Chains A and B, each alone.
Chain A
Amino acid sequence: MNAARGDGPDLLTAGLFAGFGALGLWLARDLDQGTMAQMGAGYLPRAVCAGLILLGGVIGAMALRRDAAPIEGMRLRPLLVIVGSIAGFAFLAEHGGFVAASLWLIIAGSLADPGGRWRTVLMLAGGLTAFGALVFVYGLGVQMELWPI
């Protein structure tokens, strides 16, 4: 990002596009190509992936010729905390029931914002969990256990 040339966001775009294209091509390596009249499962995926790689190349080449522009700074805390709390919810929903999963999601998720106070967070967690249990599990019939089995 420190080079004098190269538009950061566009280079990232190029990487993402080309990466998706390459990943798709690799995953589709065993699929049938088929013919125009009898297209196989791999016909269009390969075409789309080729298009993505090509497009990634063009965008990347154009970005290199432009002046340097940095990618916005990253903060890891919200990213990791949010993703982690969702993953924990998924695990607990399966093994610990709705109440545990919901409490975890809200309490752990609240860590992403350092401004929060424990008392409000706990009250929020309790209130939302009760609300969710009533509306989703009882009211709308979401098929989830409330408590660990």
Chain B
Amino acid sequence: MNTFDLLMLGFSEAMTPANLGFCLIGALLGTLIGVLPGIGPTATIAVLLPITFFLPPLAGIIMLAGIYYGAQYGGSTTAILVNLPGEASAVVTALDGYQMAQQGRAGSALAVAALGSFFAGTVATFGIAIAGPMLSSFALNFGPAEYVALMVFGLLAATILASGPVLKAIGMILIGLLLGMVGTDQATGAERLTFGSLDLFDGIEFTVIAIGLFGFSEIIANLERSGSEGVKLAPMSRMWPTREDFRRSWPAVLRGTGIGTFLGILPGGGATLASFSAYSLEKKVSKHPKKFGTGVVEGVAAPESANNAAAQSSFIPLLTLGIPSNNMMAMMLSAFMIHGITPGPSVLTNQPEIFWGLVASMWIGNALLVFINMPLIGLWVKLLTVPYRLLYPAILLFCCVGVYSMNNRIFDVLLAAGFGLLGYAFRKAKCEPGPLLLGFVLGPLLEANLRRTLLITQGDPSIFVERPISLTMLAATVILLALMILPSFRKKREEAFQEEEA
């Protein structure tokens, strides 16, 4: 059978009424938990896992997959509407998306995000179908040394996405790295930076920091700015993107899709990098990089398509090698195992209906999501017309419950309140929290892989330049860094001259 026949087999499996129904349920549920900040797909899927015992294998897996990519979809909604990224991948969407919403262009931002995601999901799904096995064997070439190079590159990308001075962005990344080191050191088992507290033993959760720095501090800042008359948002001017919006997002979506599909296949951390890298690339190639962060549509289109493409292509290592690339995929692996299916090359040959059925259902699910979300945009936008004094208590409640539900402990809620205070201080200091989050996410990966590399080579760092992939990425990092620093030096010198003249 060639790819086309197999794809047809997949569609015939995925189009049965029952499977279609489970796909819809999954996508709906995913959208719901994606919109609710803090409630992540991982916990939801865990609760639903036992239910899938009673479903046929394909139906259960289709539903869980639907929850996963539905949540990716829904996560951007809160990022755009109330500046609350539920997951690492939505942090950059909030940068320009929230600004657009403040200017009354929430509808455009949501529509561009939905359409861009759908396009990216389609491309990535067919990418899995056509080149899945080939891509995954390439991904295996990424050893510890390559990851170090990739993470260094990713951290540099984080400095690009900040619109303020480079030095502040670097400092925020360093604080993120430091926060990522809190907890038990994976390699030696030593407790680090925990103040001796058992609650910090496993480190800090991403959601705690994100909700504190973004959610809580945004609420405090909004209330502070408004004073007694209550926060007012800009009136809704448009529901639908303009032709200009479409013209400008189109290439951004294409680039985002490419980056997302590629980074998504890398096991461990690749998908997180996708939206950050896509945004940074857009800013680099743009003719007006200064406008990023003030509500440009490319700043929504690129990261949204990248994270959806990555969500799809992160299935590649799981389906073709049996290796989950993140926690969600580990959960999917459990779902397969509950049904006695071991994902890997043997599934491709022995049970093609499972692999191809899932691939086909992912495309159908993406299409369903557009149908679900397009009419919802009107509703979401209406939500913004609710007076802020009624809206913010609801956001507070959702944030608190979401943070609590991760580990069922109040400590996380208190910690998030602390990060709210810190976020407030950062605002006063004019420091952007985005790079901090990226440093926090990538830091542990960078440290673990750096130590692993040097353990394997017994302390010889030359491996980084001997391996072609790592050499290429490090070279790209150096060039990018030079490009960034040179203009700012030039500007500094100009300023200095002007001062002297004055």
Contact = CB atoms under 8 A, between A and B. Distances in A.
Contact of B228 (A37, A44, A87, A114): A114
Interface string B370-410: 00000000000000000011101110111011001100101
Nearest to B400: A89
A99 B195 CA distance: 33
A86 B454 CA distance: 44
A112 B426 CA distance: 21
Interface in A55-77: 55-56, 58-59, 71-72, 74-75, 77
B424 interface: yes
Interface string B304-316: 0000000000000
Given A20-B175, A27-B193, A55-B167, A112 B420 contact: no
A113 to B, nearest CB: 4
B212 to A, nearest CB: 10
A142 B402 CA distance: 9
A45 to B, nearest CB: 5
A93 B404 contact: yes
A6 interface: no
Interface string A109-137: 11011111000110011001000100110
Most chain A C-beta atoms within 10 Å of own C-beta, residue among B400, B405, B420:
B400
A131 B178 CA distance: 38
A48 B181 contact: yes
B247 interface: no
A74 B400 contact: no
A140 interface: yes
A37 B424 contact: no
Given A13-B429, A79-B220, A86-B396, A113 B389 contact: yes
Contacts of A27: 192-195
A13 B447 CA distance: 25
Contacts of B339: none
Interface string B228-245: 111100000000000000
A90 B170 contact: no
Contacts of B178: 20, 24, 45, 48-49, 52
B454 A39 contact: yes
Interface residues of B, number: 70
B416 A86 contact: yes
Interface string A79-118: 1001101110111011000000110011001101111100
Nearest to A112: B223
B451 interface: yes
Nearest to B221: A78
B288 interface: no
B224 interface: yes
B141 interface: no
A18 B33 CA distance: 39
A86 B211 CA distance: 12
A71 B174 CA distance: 23
Main secondary structure of the interface of A (DSSP, over half): helix
Interface string A23-41: 0100110011001111111
A140 B44 contact: yes
Given A36-B459, A86-B416, A48 B174 contact: yes
Contacts of B195: 27
A13 B167 CA distance: 10
Interface stretch (B183-191, B269-277, B472-480): B183-191
Contact of A132 (B181, B190, B397, B426): B397
Contacts of B459: 35-38
B168 A45 contact: no
B68 interface: no
Contact of A136 (B168, B401, B416, B461): B401
B429 A16 contact: yes
Contacts of A136: 39, 401, 405
A12 interface: yes
Contact of B223 (A78, A94, A124): A78
A69 B64 CA distance: 53
Contact of B396 (A12, A40, A109): A109
A55 B171 contact: yes
Interface string B201-237: 0000000000000001001100110111111000000
Contacts of A56: 171
A112 B389 CA distance: 9
Contacts of A140: 33, 36, 39, 44, 47, 405
Contacts of B61: none
B174 A52 contact: yes
Nearest to B421: A83
Interface in B451-478: 451, 454-455, 458-459, 461
Nearest to B170: A55
A13 B433 CA distance: 12
Most chain A C-beta atoms within 10 Å of own C-beta, residue among B181, B227, B447, B458:
B181
Interface in B140-198: 167-168, 170-171, 174-175, 177-178, 181, 185, 187-188, 190, 192-195
B430 interface: yes
Contacts of B55: none
A48 B176 CA distance: 10
B94 interface: no
B420 A86 contact: yes
A115 B389 contact: yes
A89 B411 CA distance: 11
18 contacts: A9-B429, A16-B429, A40-B188, A40-B190, A41-B188, A44-B177, A52-B171, A74-B428, A83-B417, A86-B216, A86-B413, A90-B411, A90-B414, A90-B417, A93-B413, A106-B397, A136-B405, A140-B405
Nearest first, the 3 closest Cβ-Cβ pairs linking A and B are: A37-B459, A78-B223, A90-B410
Given A32-B188, A86-B420, A113-B231, 12 more contacts: A24-B178, A27-B195, A31-B192, A36-B461, A39-B454, A41-B188, A82-B216, A85-B396, A115-B230, A115-B389, A128-B397, A142-B405
